[in-house]
Amino acid sequence: MLYEWIRGESNDGEGRSLFPGKKSKYILVIAICLGLLALIWPVTRTDKSANNKTGPISSQITSDKKLNRELALELEYILSRIDGAGKVKVSISLASGGLKTYAANTRNESRSIEESQNGANKKTTETNVARDLAVSAGAPLFVENKTPEVMGVLVVAEGATSPIVQEKLVQATATLLNISPHQVCVMPGRDI
């Protein structure tokens, strides 16, 4: 039927053609081929998911830096309120990026096979344990998200020339961050 339509033949045998020359027929065939090629050609899209292959890693680094800076700012604000401390600057050293625990589905499968040949019994036990990450709405489920561990803190304060103020700053910092006093270094400073 398509062949007849292209050739321009009708049911009564007349040979009237929609495309009078061979050149027109070739153009039609080429146009159809290009149309089919356009349909099956892989479309390249700029998906956010394709461009963000390193997204979670870079966002995690950014969030760690942001958390570090927020802790430092809060600590600066609190320590500057201590009597005699003056202006305070804080630098916090974190041990790691924290710990994120994800929910997992665990499947245990056990299979036992007992065979008896010529009076000898043979027992085979096969155990398979499979753990899959639990996912909800396309994202893994968090069970626990621990904040990073603080390795040490440097406090530079205008009023740290006094040993009493230094001790107050060390104790306040150790208490606020739940770290040992030996992890806190307080130094006197000026023009902060």
For the chain, the structural domain boundaries read 2-40, 48-98+147-188, 101-136
Q: pTM value?
A: 0.51
Q: How far apart, in Å, are the Cα atoms of 152 and each of 58, 82, 175, 181?
A: 24, 20, 13, 9
Identify the helix (H) or strand (E) that includes residue 123: strand 120-133
Phi, psi of 162 (to 5 degrees): -85, 130
Strands 139-140 and 142-146: unpaired
Amino acid at 120: A
CA distance 26 to 31: 8
CA distance 71 to 58: 20
Q: Are 145 and 112 in contact (CB under 8 A)?
A: no
Task: Output the pLDDT for position 56.
Answer: 52
Each of the 192 residues of the chain gets a pLDDT tens digit; together they read: 566 656 655 555 555 555 667 777 788 889 888 888 888 877 665 554 444 444 455 555 567 788 889 999 999 999 999 999 999 999 999 887 777 788 888 888 888 888 887 777 888 888 888 888 888 787 877 777 777 888 999 999 998 999 999 999 999 999 999 999 999 999 999 877
Quick one: tokens of 82?
């201590």
Strands 150-157 and 184-188: parallel
Phi, psi of 30 (to 5 degrees): -65, -40
Q: How far apart, in Å, are the Cα atoms of 171 and each of 50, 95, 164?
A: 49, 21, 11
- Per DSSP, what are the bridge partners of residue 146? 99
Instruction: Tell me if residue 137 falls in helix, strand or coil.
Output: coil
Task: Output the pLDDT for position 45.
Answer: 59
In the block, tokens 């009076």 appear at: 119
Question: What CATH number has the domain spanning 48-98+147-188?
Answer: 3.30.300.30
Task: Output the pLDDT for position 90.
Answer: 95
